[in-house]
Amino acid sequence: MADQVKEKTLEETSTWAVAVVCFVLLLISIVIEKLIHKIGSWFKKKNKKALYEALEKVKAELMLMGFISLLLTIGQGYISNICIPKNIAASMHPCSASEEARKYGKKDVPKEDEEENLRRKLLQLVDSLIPRRSLATKGYDKCAEKGKVAFVSAYGMHQLHIFIFVLAVCHVIYCIVTYALGKTKMRRWKKWEEETKTIEYQYSHDPERFRFARDTSFGRRHLSFWSKSTITLWIVCFFRQFFRSVTKVDYLTLRHGFIMAHLAPGSDARFDFRKYIQRSLEEDFKTIVEINPVIWFIAVLFLLTNTNGLNSYLWLPFIPFIVILIVGTKLQVIITKLGLRIQEKGDVVKGTPLVQPGDHFFWFGRPRFILFLIHLVLFTNAFQLAFFVWSTVSKQSCILHELET
């Protein structure tokens, strides 16, 4: 059998090759740093303070990834030298024993896979006659001499290193795409905001006119037989989130309520409610891109569920889907309850219905809990997207093989 060729050390490598690699890495790093700096300068110029702070948090997340990368590189050798008994190491694997035998050539396999393993061994025997290089990350297992298994192998640390990097990139990209979609949805609000400056709007929303609450546009949309029961209220609001979740009458009513609560009389024609919502979106975006220890701890739990037998790839994607549906329904319920609150104060309203939002409409009286759930959904989706990309590119996941078969 031919001897395997050892990898060259840095001393055995040409200096020009080392210089070229360093030059390319430095060039890419400088270009990315300058690009981020240009974007930050543009945010400052446009007085986008919240977006600038969000960019700083993105930089902090990238710096955290760099620090984790450094720790993985330094600790790779030490961690791979930690040995544990084989019976402990054999528990909670992502792949089944037969799948591991098919891919990695392990011995403990069911009888039905013996013929497949025999063919695999014959192929390995032919391949062993051909000398080839071995990866540095798939080095010698020192724990095998002791009859044990490495806690996490050096190659496993290398794969984890790559996955964490892919996760960070997917999280940032996913948040940016979500923010862009939110901005796109708010474009139609510009026409509604401009309409409030017209004489026709001022005439149709005469503050001296008396009407029944249920006869107003806002009342006809939200005050009906289904809004009197909690069950029917949630059912109707559940389906409403899919079809024009924010209508023109909702926007104008919420705008009027905000102006009456926070601005001086007569500010209606000068205030731009749409720009205020955009600034609020930027503030929320700053929150969802920041490093949240609770969210990252949940990511560790997701890694723990990637165990053979749990089939997490079948039920885990439904968790963020269900959460975001509940959040969307809750927001629709809040708008309807604002209308019910108007009717509770009296059947007759003067001018535009005056809504009075409050923290008590939200779960636990904390509106930021809704934002936390949205943050959780975005991160969970980014995690699953990153896992899919990493599994597809590296071809390391037995889940893809199960789906193919």
pLDDT of residue 212: 65
What is the residue extent of each domain of the chain? 186-404
pTM of the model: 0.72
- Phi and psi at residue 379, to the nearest 5°: -70, -40
Contacts of 304 by beta carbon, 8 Å cutoff, 6+ apart: 92
Asked whether 374 and 288 are in contact (CB, 8 A), the reply is yes
Question: How far is residue 114 CA from its own chain's centroid?
Answer: 42
Mean pLDDT, to the nearest integer, of 156-174? Answer: 82
Would you say 307 and 73 are in contact if contact means Cβ atoms under 8 Å apart?
no
Q: Look up residue 54 and give its amino acid.
A: A
DSSP label of 2: P
Mapping DSSP onto H, E and C, the string for 3-40 reads: CCECCCCHHHCCHHHHHHHHHHHHHHHHHHHHHHHHHH
Where is 350: in which H helix or E strand?
strand 348-350
List of residues 6+ apart from 135 with CB closer than 8 A: 7, 155
Of 43-47, 309-313, 321-325, 394-398, the range with the highest mean pLDDT is 321-325
Q: What is the DSSP letter of 246?
A: S
- 322 vs 146: CA distance, rounded Å: 48
Residue 131 has pLDDT above 60, yes or no: no
Q: What is the pLDDT of residues 358-397, one digit of tens each?
A: 788 888 888 888 888 888 888 888 888 888 888 777 766 5
Give the whole-angstrom CA distance, residue 390 versus residue 372. 26
Residue ranges of the alpha helices (H) in 289-345? 293-305, 312-315, 318-345
Flag the least confident range among 87-101, 165-179, 218-232: 87-101
Q: Is pLDDT at 350 greater than 60 in this prediction?
A: yes
For 378, the token pair is 């975005």
